[in-house]
């Protein structure tokens, strides 16, 4: 198993390219199941989850071809052609490893009139139920049956009817599933209290490029007019706002000066606001953003919330950064009940953090010290990398496969801007 070794203390400077967004890629890939014509996605990040999703599409009968495989290139272009579906089932083994596979439920059901998808179950960061995915699909004409850990969905008369659904709480995944299912329904749909994350906007724009009719994109009410069929399209995946935020924290925690390239600054709202509040310089110029810090960081009070609020996917990275702030910060996690697993690992590096329920109080310390630590989930892993970059001495981060789900060529990007970081394989 691989580990990442960091000898901390280097100030990061230079230009760092941002990849395509994992969380957009994983909802754009299943769109290919909605048409028998090819969907070409560019700026796809090279990540374990994207490869895994490609394999799932293959199992369902889609052919995939990939360009851009030169080792020195970032991103890839994948063309997916789902001429016909040879299977309508997403099995437990795949869904268990990659939770985003639940996002094939809506598209398979829309395309084939029936789908059988394993229930994902819990995961390290929380329970992650899918009841809202199912209720929203029911509202647009799905009939559901639960048996042996699977959900079997079918559309009355072989095609979804469309309908109205108001989410009781905002759900990114459930909004994605129901939108993909509704675009080819017989009638119209109205989805209220829909998630407004930029990744949902990316999804809707891709579907529109494929011939879907969607009004209200980027708002909490999506009006969808079902069309008989979708067609071929080419679409470029949006920049990864969480990767950009993570490297912005890397600049801040090392007192560095990084220019992030290939960013969509308008989608970075709460992350950049919080960095500025901490005293970090954030200057956007087109698709480039300079992030620089030269004074001790100020403490923050932050609470995670759906977009445009402060993203849960940034909570762990900010916590690492705030361990070195000049005072006490208060972080509240409102989306996932168990997303503080990085806390004991950061404490092993000298951080002073107290968790009580959903709230963590982070008291800034003078310095962190390197230590062997264990990654527990994707963003928790990044928080340990950030801590390691600033710590005195050597940090060894185990279970790097979590990072490989969401950060394209992390050690290469960081060493190019001055980090002393390497990946070692223990065989
Ligand atoms: C609103 C939010 O910040 N969503 C995050 C969530 O998306 P993801 O799609 O995984 O999760 P949801 O947005 O669906 O979950 C939001 C909340 O709704 C609850 N819920 C969800 C679905 C459901 O059927 N029933 C239910 O009760 C969840 O437990 C959670 O408390 O994790 C992703 C990966 O970290 C992040 O990129 C998303 O930003
Ligand atoms: C937890 C994350 O992703 P996933 O929903 O794919 O587990 C994340 O992107 O932070």
The predicted-structure confidence for 381-393, as pLDDT tens digits, reads as follows: 999 999 999 999 9
Determine the residue of 122, 240, 271, 378 to mutate for testing ligand 2's pocket, defined as the one with the most ligand atoms within 8 A of the Cβ atom.
378
Q: What is the distance, to the nearest Å, from the Cα of residue 239 to the centroid of all Cα atoms in its chain?
A: 11
Give the rounded percent of residues in the chain with a pLDDT score beyond 90.
92
Q: What is the pLDDT of residue 128?
A: 87
Q: Can you name the residues that pair with 15 across neighbouring β-strands?
A: 259
Same domain membership, residue 9 and residue 116: no
Same domain membership, residue 205 and residue 101: yes
Residue 107 has pLDDT above 80, yes or no: yes
Run of H or E including 213: strand 213-215
* pLDDT band for position 32 (cuts 50, 70, 90): very high
Residue 3 near residue 385 (C-beta atoms within 8 A): no
Same domain membership, residue 26 and residue 15: no
Same domain membership, residue 331 and residue 283: yes
Same domain membership, residue 63 and residue 187: yes
Is any atom of ligand 2 closer than 6 Å to the C-beta of 378? yes
Tell me: the pLDDT tens digits for 333-345?
999 988 999 999 9
In 3D space, the residue among 302, 269, 278, 248 whose CA is nearest the CA of residue 417 turns out to be 248
**Phi, psi of 205, deg, nearest 5:** -65, -40
Determine the residue of 172, 197, 308 to mutate for testing ligand 1's pocket, defined as the one with the most ligand atoms within 8 A of the Cβ atom.
172
Is any atom of ligand 2 closer than 6 Å to the C-beta of 50? no
Same domain membership, residue 332 and residue 201: no
Three-state DSSP class for residue 337: coil
Q: What is the pLDDT of residue 239?
A: 97
* pLDDT band for position 259 (cuts 50, 70, 90): very high
Q: Which atom of ligand 1 is nearest to the CA of 195?
A: 1
**Phi, psi of 338, deg, nearest 5:** -130, 45
In the set 123, 190, 204, 249, the catalytic residue is: 123
Tell me: the pLDDT tens digits for 108-127?
999 999 999 999 876 788 88
Q: What is the pLDDT of residue 69?
A: 66
Is any atom of ligand 1 closer than 6 Å to the C-beta of 40? no
Q: What is the pLDDT of residue 96?
A: 87
Q: What is the per-residue burial (b if ≥16 Cβ within 10 Å, else e) of 372-389?
A: ebbbbbbbbbbbbbbbbb
With tokens 């990864």, the residue in question is: 240
Active site residue 123: yes
Ligand 2 atom 2, closest CA: 378
Same domain membership, residue 335 and residue 252: yes
Same domain membership, residue 256 and residue 381: yes
| Structural domain ending residue among the three candidates 221, 236, 251 | 236
Tell me: the pLDDT tens digits for 336-380?
988 999 999 999 999 999 999 999 999 999 999 999 999 999 999
Say which residue, 127 or 293, is predicted with more confidence: 293
User: Distance (Å, rounded) from C-alpha 155 to C-alpha 38?
Assistant: 24
| Structural domain ending residue among the three candidates 175, 202, 236 | 236
Residue 197 near residue 123 (C-beta atoms within 8 A): no
User: Distance (Å, rounded) from C-alpha 3 to C-alpha 256?
Assistant: 25
Tell me: the pLDDT tens digits for 154-181?
999 999 999 999 999 999 999 999 999 9
What would the two tokens of residue 64 be? 């995939």
Same domain membership, residue 267 and residue 229: no
User: Distance (Å, rounded) from C-alpha 374 to C-alpha 200?
Assistant: 32
Q: Which atom of ligand 2 is nearest to the CA of 405?
A: 6
With tokens 């220019």, the residue in question is: 259
Three-state DSSP class for residue 175: helix
Three-state DSSP class for residue 275: helix
How many other C-beta atoms are found inside a 10 Å radius of the C-beta of residue 424?
Answer: 11
Same domain membership, residue 37 and residue 126: yes
Q: Number of folded domains in the chain?
A: 2
Tell me: the pLDDT tens digits for 20-31?
999 999 999 999
Query: What pTM was estimated for this model as a whole?
Result: 0.97
Tell me: the pLDDT tens digits for 38-76?
999 999 999 999 999 999 999 999 999 998 767 777 889
In 3D space, the residue among 91, 90, 88 whose CA is nearest the CA of residue 112 turns out to be 88
Same domain membership, residue 215 and residue 73: yes
CA of 314 to the centre of ligand 1 (A): 14
Is any atom of ligand 1 closer than 6 Å to the C-beta of 133? yes
Same domain membership, residue 41 and residue 11: no
Summarize the confidence of residues 229-239 as an average pLDDT: 98
Residue 239 near residue 263 (C-beta atoms within 8 A): yes
CATH number of the domain bearing residue 297: 3.65.10.10
**Cα separations (Å) of 98 from 73, 77, 152, 266?**
25, 21, 19, 29
* pLDDT band for position 185 (cuts 50, 70, 90): very high
Q: What is the pLDDT of residue 2?
A: 92
Q: Note down the domain range covering 380.
A: 2-19+239-425
| Structural domain ending residue among the three candidates 186, 203, 236 | 236
CA of 126 to the centre of ligand 1 (A): 10
How high is the mean pLDDT of the chain? 96
Three-state DSSP class for residue 43: strand
User: Distance (Å, rounded) from C-alpha 384 to C-alpha 387?
Assistant: 5
Q: Can you name the residues that pair with 261 across neighbouring β-strands?
A: 17, 288
CA of 368 to the centre of ligand 1 (A): 32
User: Distance (Å, rounded) from C-alpha 27 to C-alpha 90?
Assistant: 15
């Amino acid at each position: 198993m691989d580990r990442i070794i960091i000898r901390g203390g280097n100030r990061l400077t230079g230009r760092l390219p941002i990849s395509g967004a994992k969380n957009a890629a994983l909802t754009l890939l299943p769109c290919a199941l909605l048409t028998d014509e090819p969907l070409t996605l560019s700026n796809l990040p090279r990540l374990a989850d994207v490869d895994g999703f490609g394999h799932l599409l293959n199992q369902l009968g889609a052919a995939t071809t990939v360009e851009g495989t030169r080792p020195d290139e970032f991103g890839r272009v994948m063309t997916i052609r789902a001429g016909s579906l040879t299977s309508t089932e997403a099995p437990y083994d795949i869904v268990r490893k990659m939770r985003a596979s639940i996002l094939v439920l809506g598209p398979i059901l829309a395309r084939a009139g029936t789908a059988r998808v394993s229930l994902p179950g819990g995961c390290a960061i929380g329970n992650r139920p899918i009841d809202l995915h199912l209720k929203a699909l029911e509202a647009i004409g799905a009939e559901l049956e639960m048996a042996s850990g699977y959900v079997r969905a079918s559309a009355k008369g072989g095609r979804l009817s469309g309908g109205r659904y108001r989410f009781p709480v905002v759900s990114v995944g459930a909004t994605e599933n129901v939108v993909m299912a509704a675009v080819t329904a017989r009638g119209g749909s109205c989805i209220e209290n829909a998630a407004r994350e930029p990744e949902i906007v990316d999804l809707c724009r891709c579907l529109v490029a494929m011939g879907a009719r969607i009004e209200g994109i980027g708002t909490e009410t999506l009006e969808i007019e079902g069309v008989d069929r979708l067609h071929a399209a080419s679409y470029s995946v949006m920049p990864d706002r969480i990767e950009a935020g993570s490297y912005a924290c890397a600049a801040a925690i090392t007192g560095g000066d990084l220019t992030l390239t290939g960013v969509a600054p308008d989608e970075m709202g709460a992350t950049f606001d919080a960095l500025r509040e901490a005293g970090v310089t954030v200057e956007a110029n087109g698709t480039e953003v300079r992030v620089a810090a030269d004074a001790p960081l100020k403490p923050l009070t932050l609470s995670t919330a759906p977009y445009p609020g402060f993203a849960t996917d940034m909570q762990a990275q900010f916590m690492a950064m705030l361990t070195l702030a000049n005072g006490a910060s208060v972080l509240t996690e409102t989306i996932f009940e168990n997303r503080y697993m990085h806390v004991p690992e950061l404490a092993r590096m000298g951080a002073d953090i107290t968790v009580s329920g959903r709230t963590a109080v982070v008291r800034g310390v003078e310095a962190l010290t390197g230590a062997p630590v264990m990654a527990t989930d994707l963003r928790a892993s990044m928080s340990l990398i950030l801590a390691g970059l600033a710590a005195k001495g050597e940090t060894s981060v185990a279970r790097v496969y979590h990072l490989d789900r969401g950060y394209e060529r992390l050690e290469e990007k960081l060493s190019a801007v001055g980090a002393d970081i390497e990946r070692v394989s223990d065989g």
